[in-house]
Amino acid sequence: MSTKTIFKRIALVAVASIGLGVLSVGPSSAAVTEETLTVSAATATGTVGDTTTVTVTSAFIASVGAGATADSRTINAVVQGVNNAGTASVNFVPTSDSANTVLHNPVNVGTAYNTRESVIAVTAGAYTKNTSTLQLINFTVAGTYNVTITSKDDAGTIYKSAVVVVTVSAVATTTATGGYVWLTADIATSQNARIAQSGAIDSAIVVSAGTAATPVAVGYAFAAATNSAGDTRAAGVTGLKNSATGTPVNDTFTVTVTGPGLVSGVSTTKAKTAQVQVQNGTATNVMDTLTIWSDGTAGVSTLKWTTSLGVLF
């Protein structure tokens, strides 16, 4: 064997030894492993005044459970966007979809648009998961917002992050695209309810068919016009509002009867079609009453309401 060959073999042995030495070096104790931070959607939409939600899930394998040294993560959510980040508040709401965790109550961090929650492992070596609903509450300005969500350790080091882009639209205009309808057999009840707008009275009524020669008023209905957000006033609050604030949604509805019966509204003429004016802008939100008349024919009648834009509801 030549001297040159011996040196080559010695060199190879030395390299192998160094390699084994590197592989043998490791941490003195295990750390959080297999950590993930996921959101239910990367994008979301909302309307000024509404609440938008996304689901946030933090998961990891804990090496230490319980006690002051238990593995944990702090999940932080911060809203940034148009004008200033304070145009919305955020809040974590924990769900039952969790495992091996003690959850500290969510708290706001200095401002309403910065919130956090702590996820603490209970048992070492176990899969730890926390799922929360992140509420994005009451955007006051339309625009695009970035919600940055991070997972940090006790020292503040970020290990995982996710971003949800929220597009917030302005409150719907006062154009009537739908409405609410009340139906009752009692005119007095109908008049009182429409002023208070306290809710639907009847969705169906059963009355006498009468005779064709002498039509009789057997039912009454009125409607509240709504925009595409479901508001009777363009003020960002879903549902009926007996309020003087906000631009009202007014319209004239066309009502058509299919089946037995006749109707009358603005005009007292009894026919298969009638019009009623909806005036949400008055102090008491009084609307025209639709009167339903018997015509001597038995059967089921259906009232179809259409906005001035031709939207059927």
Task: Indicate the residue among 122, 148, 169 that finishes a domain.
Answer: 169
Distance, CA of 228 to CA of 218 (rounded, Å): 32
Residue 15 maps to a domain: no
Residue 118 maps to a domain: yes
Same domain, yes or no, for 41 and 63?
A: yes
Same domain, yes or no, for 205 and 289?
A: yes
Mean pLDDT of 180-187: 80
Same domain, yes or no, for 218 and 112?
A: no
Distance, CA of 81 to CA of 144 (rounded, Å): 6
Q: Output the six-digit token pair for 161.
A: 């992050």
Q: Output the six-digit token pair for 80.
A: 């940034």
Same domain, yes or no, for 186 and 250?
A: yes
Work out the pLDDT band at 281, boundaries 50, 70, 90. low
Residue 10 maps to a domain: no
Mean pLDDT of 4-11: 43
Distance, CA of 71 to CA of 85 (rounded, Å): 31
Same domain, yes or no, for 43 and 152?
A: yes
Among residues 181, 206, 205, the alpha carbon closest in space to that of 289 is found at 181
Domains contained in the chain, number: 2
Residue 6 maps to a domain: no
Cα separations in angstroms, 40 against 55, 130, 241: 5, 13, 33
Same domain, yes or no, for 86 and 163?
A: yes
Among residues 189, 213, 200, 180, the alpha carbon closest in space to that of 280 is found at 180
Work out the pLDDT band at 194, boundaries 50, 70, 90. low
Same domain, yes or no, for 128 and 212?
A: no
Cα separations in angstroms, 163 against 32, 50, 248: 22, 20, 37
Q: Output the six-digit token pair for 238.
A: 């879903």
Top mean-pLDDT range of 171-175, 282-286, 292-296:
292-296
Distance, CA of 143 to CA of 135 (rounded, Å): 17
Answer for the pair 285, 195: CB distance below 8 angstroms, yes or no. yes
pLDDT at res. 205 = 85
Residue 18 maps to a domain: no
Residue 271 pLDDT > 70: yes
Residue 50 maps to a domain: yes
Residue with tokens 């319980």: 66
The enclosing H or E element of 295 equals: none
Same domain, yes or no, for 143 and 199?
A: no
Same domain, yes or no, for 125 and 220?
A: no
Residue 14 maps to a domain: no
More confident residue, 283 or 302: 302
Task: Indicate the residue among 151, 169, 187 that finishes a domain.
Answer: 169
Work out the pLDDT band at 216, boundaries 50, 70, 90. very high
pLDDT at res. 1 = 45
Residue 190 pLDDT > 90: no
Residue 3 maps to a domain: no
Same domain, yes or no, for 231 and 149?
A: no
Task: Indicate the residue among 152, 169, 186 that finishes a domain.
Answer: 169
Q: Give bridge partners of residue 255 from the DSSP assignment.
A: 274, 305
Range of the domain at 150: 33-169
**126: domain CATH number?**
2.60.40.3880
Could you please report the per-residue DSSP string of 5-70? HHHHHHHHHHHHHHHHHHHT---SS---EEEEEEES-SEEEEETT-EEEEEEEEEEE-SS-SSTT-
Same domain, yes or no, for 90 and 191?
A: no
More confident residue, 123 or 3: 123
Same domain, yes or no, for 123 and 145?
A: yes
